[in-house]
Structure formats: C-alpha cells, structure tokens
Amino acid sequence: MNKQAIPIITGIEESKSENTYPSLIKGYVLACTNKSEKQLIESGVFCTGRAYGHKVMAVKKGDIVFLLNIDTDELIGPFIAKSEGDYNPEKSPFGSKYPYIVEVVSDGTTIHRLSNAKNLFKKLNINWRSDILSEKGVQLIKQLVLRKKDIGTLRIKNKETLIAKNYRPPLFSTTLWDYPYQSYGDTPKGNNKYPGVTPAFIIYNMLYRYTIPGDTVLDPMTGSGTTIDVCKEEKRNVIAFDIVPTRPDIKQADARNLPLPDESIDMVFIDSPYGDNIRYNDHPDNIGHIPATDEAFYDELEKVMKECYRVMKPGKYLGWLIGDQWAKKHFVPVGFKIYERLTKYFEPVDIISVVRRNQASNTPIWHRRAIEHNFYLRGFKYLIIVRKPDKDSSSKKKDLNIKWNFYER
Ligand SMILES: C[S@@+](CC[C@H](N)C(=O)[O-])C[C@H]1O[C@@H](n2cnc3c(N)ncnc32)[C@H](O)[C@@H]1O
C-alpha cells in the first residue's frame, strides 16, 4: 500500500440530523407500588431515584405523566406536570431515597385506571421504564386510559412514532457505551462540525453518575462547548475553558494553569487531544500539536491532570475521554499511557469503552484497506473514570449493604 495513503484515523464524530422534537408535549410513565400510590397522588409530587432520575429531569411544565402501579398493573392518570423535573429531596414524599421529583395535577376529572398496562406497553413496543412518549404516544395512551379508544381495536402502523426516540440518551449500566448520535434532544449539544466534537451522551452519563443538579462541572478543553450545553440542560453549573475559545461562554485559559481556586469543582470532564491527529487551531500552546509518539505529549497532559486534581474537591470524579492511535504503520496505546499518568494522582474507578460511530474512516474503502493490509480501524475510545481521594485516606469506603455480590445463573 502507498504509505502516503494512510491518514491518521481522526475519529471525527458527526451527527446525522436527529434533533426532531422541538417543544412538543411529551409523556412520562413513572412507577409506584400499592404502598406508595396513595401518598404520591395525595401529595401531588411524583418522585424517583437515580436509575430514572434523568427521565424525570427531562419533564417540562405541561407534559403528561402517568403512574404505573406495578403491583396492580394499573396505569393511572393522566396527570399534568405543573413544574419542570427537579432534584429536591426536601419536596419529595420519600426524601433523599427518591430525590428526583415532578409536581403534578390531575386534569380536573376523576383519576382513571387502565388495567393490564404492562401488556399494553408490550403490544405497543414501548419500554415504559426508559422510553419517553412522543406527542402521538401521549395522545394514544391518554385516549386508552380515558376509555375513548378500545385496546381491542388498536391498529398502530408505525410503533416507533409513539416514542420520542432521541429525546434523551439512555443511562448505561455496563462498561460498553454505544449511542448512534453525537447529539440528542431539542437543541444541539456542541457543534457537530467541530473537529473531534465529543458525543454528548458521554457527558450526560457522567453527570447522572457523579453529580447532582446544582453541582459545578469543569471542562478545561471545551472545544465547541458540548459540556456546557449538556450541563445547562441538566441544571449543573459549568466552567469552561479552551486555549482558543469558540464561543463567548468559553473562557481563554491553558488547561495547565487554570484561573480557579483549589478544591472548588465537583466533577471534571475532559476530551483532550489524542496526539497531533486533528488540527484544532494554530495556538502555540495547543497540546494537540505534539504527536502521541512523543513522550512530551504525556508530560504536558500530566500537567493538565495535576491542575484538575488541584481544583477538584476531594472525593469527586473526573472522566477523561481518549483514543488510541494507529498511524503510519505504528500503533500507540494512548489510552493505557493516559491511564498510567492519571492513576499517579487519582484512584481508578472504571474504564468505559465508547463505541466510535460515524467517523471519517467508516467507509467501505477503509474497511477493505484495514483487512487487506492487516491493520485495525479504531472501533472505540476509552472513557477513563478516576476519583480524587478523600482527604482522610483512612476513611473507609462505605460498604454497600447489598446481597447480590454474585451473578445468579
Ligand atoms: C477533542 S477537542 C474537545 C472537544 C469538545 N469536548 C467538544 O465537544 O467540542 C480538544 C480541545 O483541546 C483544546 N486544547 C488543546 N490544548 C489546550 C490547552 N493547552 N489548554 C486548553 N485547551 C487546549 C483544543 O483547542 C480543542 O478544542
């Protein structure tokens, strides 16, 4: 193969047009039990824990909410959201155990109940736990609950349209994260034309794992501002820097020397250069001018790590997105090398493999070349998650009081 013909695999993520839900009413199904149903309905405040908190946070005033009693299998409603989704343990009828809340009112009529609800959702291909209903889905479920439509006569041609499909990304429970789009929701997250733009669902997942609304998140290399847009929508404060700011809400600073006080940050997200494979700008202090084959690249990024460590509060989390390089017939395990440097300062928490989609090399010609010439295209990036140790290193981590340490077969 012609040596010149192998460009460095850049992994530029591009979104297809997917933001297709501008401000239409959405529908949410929240769960309750026989024990909690009365209290939730009487208080007019529905609440949930971390697993579904992100769904509640997406609720807008005027959206429709249904309660599913999982003991009786009845769908109860419709209720109208009179507030946005929020994080408020004080207002929650179940306190800090279920701190994500939405205040609701009934639509003025008596509350209706529809039995066999799970079966209905199955029939409609709706995952009631995770899906958010589209306007069409809301109208249909409302008509069924209000008995204006009979389940027996249902003819749904395109079940997909009942769900607001790309309104919010999923929260991942495994170490393999895969989502087809760079952005989601009503508004863009970052600029998908920016070279090396970060897939927004990664930041979204980090926020729901390691912060609560009101926390302060830092991105020292913000690029086109994906972290800002995700944080704002999820009600986190955000501080954003870049060596060359691309918009007014990004401040100019070198990530090795941040104008921030010590121990002031609740979470850091950083998608650094992976070497000199992408030309972000011509600023002389852009670390993306140093090749990943050069040890100086890691030395400079280690300065960024130390600076993040300084500004983070003890016990808080940092997520570092990084990809390996295969260029000019040479493999560089950039991810391992970054992990090594990070864990000089931080405690390891986990490593996520993020599937790369829509990158420049994802074309038939590059797939053929990879096999023909026996090399691999980059299929994933690492999200390395680390934690700044607690101040008192003797403080033992709280034991989780759980009885499911082993996977049952
Ligand atoms: C992979 S991009 C970040 C992409 C961004 N998360 C987004 O979604 O658009 C890496 C960024 O690091 C910035 N950068 C490089 N060297 C820097 C430095 N010394 N201090 C601050 N930012 C730097 C580049 O300008 C570039 O915007």
| pLDDT in 10s for each residue of the chain, 409 residues | 333 332 222 223 333 334 444 568 999 999 999 999 999 999 999 999 999 999 999 999 999 999 999 999 999 999 999 999 999 999 999 999 999 999 999 876 678 999 999 999 998 999 999 999 999 999 999 999 988 777 777 776 666 689 999 999 999 999 999 999 999 999 999 999 999 999 999 999 999 999 999 999 999 999 999 999 999 999 999 999 999 999 999 999 999 999 999 999 999 999 999 999 899 999 999 999 999 999 999 999 999 999 999 999 999 999 999 999 987 788 999 999 999 999 999 999 999 999 998 777 788 999 999 999 999 999 999 999 999 999 876 555 555 566 666 666 6
**C-alpha to C-alpha distance for 111 and 41, rounded to whole angstroms:** 10
- pLDDT at residue 9, as a whole number: 25
Q: Using CA atoms in the order 266, 15, 4, 335, what is the torsion angle rounded to 10 degrees?
A: 30
Span from the CA of 227 to the centroid of ligand 1 (angstroms): 12
Q: Is the CB of 318 under 6 A from ligand 1?
A: no
Q: Is the CB of 240 under 6 A from ligand 1?
A: no
Q: Is the CB of 13 under 6 A from ligand 1?
A: no
Domain ranges for the chain: 3-16+169-387, 27-162
Q: Is the CB of 273 under 6 A from ligand 1?
A: yes
Q: Is the CB of 199 under 6 A from ligand 1?
A: no
**C-alpha to C-alpha distance for 1 and 333, rounded to whole angstroms:** 23
pTM of the full structure: 0.91
Angle of CA points 211, 213, 219, to nearest 5°: 60
- pLDDT at residue 394, as a whole number: 58
Q: Among candidates 337, 347, 317, which has minimal Cα distance to 382?
A: 337
Strands 237-242 and 251-252: parallel
- pLDDT at residue 111, as a whole number: 84
Looking at ligand 1, which residue's alpha carbon is closest to its atom 12?
221
331 C-beta neighbours (distance < 10 Å), count = 11
Report pLDDT digits (tens) over 230-268: 999 999 999 999 999 999 999 999 999 999 999 999 999
Q: Is the CB of 288 under 6 A from ligand 1?
A: yes
Name the architecture of domain 27-162: Roll (3.10)
Span from the CA of 219 to the centroid of ligand 1 (angstroms): 9
Residue type, 369: R
- pLDDT at residue 396, as a whole number: 52
Q: Is the CB of 229 under 6 A from ligand 1?
A: no
Looking at ligand 1, which residue's alpha carbon is closest to its atom 5?
223
- Please confirm whether the linkage preceding 314 is cis (ω < 30° from 0): no
Q: Is the CB of 255 under 6 A from ligand 1?
A: yes
Q: Is the CB of 27 under 6 A from ligand 1?
A: no
Name the architecture of domain 3-16+169-387: 3-Layer(aba) Sandwich (3.40)
Looking at ligand 1, which residue's alpha carbon is closest to its atom 13?
221
Span from the CA of 178 to the centroid of ligand 1 (angstroms): 23
Q: Please give, one letter per residue, the 3-state secondary structure of the chain.
A: CCHHHCCCCCCCCCCCCCCCCCCCCCEEEEEECHHHHHHHHHHCEEEECHHHHHHHHCCCCCCEEEEEECCCCEEEEEEEECCCCEECCCCCCCHHHCCEEEEEEECCCCCEEECCHHHHHHHCCCCCCCCCECHHHHHHHHHHHCCCCCHHHCCCCCHHHHECCCCCCCCCCCCEECCCCCCCCCCCCCCCCCCCCCCHHHHHHHHHHHCCCCCEEEECCCCCCHHHHHHHHCCCEEEEEECCCCCCCCEECECCECCCCCCCEEEEEEECCCCCCCCCCCCCCCHHHCCCCCHHHHHHHHHHHHHHHHHEEEEEEEEEEECCEEECCEEECHHHHHHHHHCCCCEEEEEEEEECCCCCCCCHHHHHHHHHCCCCCCCEEEEEEEECCCCCCCCCCCCCCCCCCCCCC
Report pLDDT digits (tens) over 94-144: 999 999 999 999 876 678 999 999 999 998 999 999 999 999 999 999 999
Q: Ligand 1 pocket: which of 221, 227, 303, 354 to mutate (most atoms <8 Å of CB)?
A: 221
- Tallying the residues shown for the chain, one arrives at 409
Q: Is the CB of 103 under 6 A from ligand 1?
A: no
Q: Ligand 1 pocket: which of 14, 242, 244 to mutate (most atoms <8 Å of CB)?
A: 242
